[in-house]
Amino acid sequence: MKVGSRIKGLRIEKGLSTFLMAEKIGVSEQTYRKYESDKNSPDINTLEIIAQTLGKSFIDLLPENILFTNNDQKGGIALAYQSTINQQSEKLIEQYEKRIEEKDILILELKEILKKFKKD
C-alpha cells in the first residue's frame, strides 16, 4: 500500500473530510487530494504534520513493504526500501530547485523596481 492510500484510509477512519484535513496541515484541498492519489508526495515535514493530525507516528504512514532493521553500527533504524527514499529525495530536490528559480525571478523583478525608483 502506498503512502497516499494509507493517508486516505487513516483520514476516513478519523472521519475527516479532505477539506478539513488540508486545512489542518496547511495546504490546499487540491494539493492534499494529490497526496492521497499519489500524484504528488508530501515532503518529510508535511508527512510528519499529517501523521500528528491523524494521531499516528510518521512510520505508520510509510508503505507496508518497508523493512525496518536495527542498525547497531549507526544506532538507528535503517529503511530497506531505497526506491521510496530516492523518490522522496528527488521530489524534494525538484521542489527546492523550483523555489530557488522563483526566488531568482523575484530578485530580478525587485532590482528592476529599485532601478525605476532611483531614476525618479
Confidence of residue 76 (pLDDT cuts 50, 70, 90): very low
From the centroid of its chain, how far is CA 113?
34
What pTM value is reported for the model? Answer: 0.55
Mean pLDDT of the residues in the chain: 82
pLDDT digit string, tens, across residues 18-56: 999 999 999 999 999 999 998 988 888 898 999 999 999
Length of the chain in residues, anyone?
A: 120
Compute the distance between CA of residue 94 and CA of residue 65 in angstroms, rounded to an integer: 25
Q: Over range 86-96, report the average pLDDT.
A: 78
Q: What is the pLDDT of residues 37-47, one digit of tens each?
A: 989 888 888 98
Are the C-beta atoms of residues 58 and 23 closer than 8 Å to each other? no
Which residues in 27-49 are b (16+ Cβ under 10 Å) and which e?
Answer: beeeebbbbbeeeebbeeebbeb
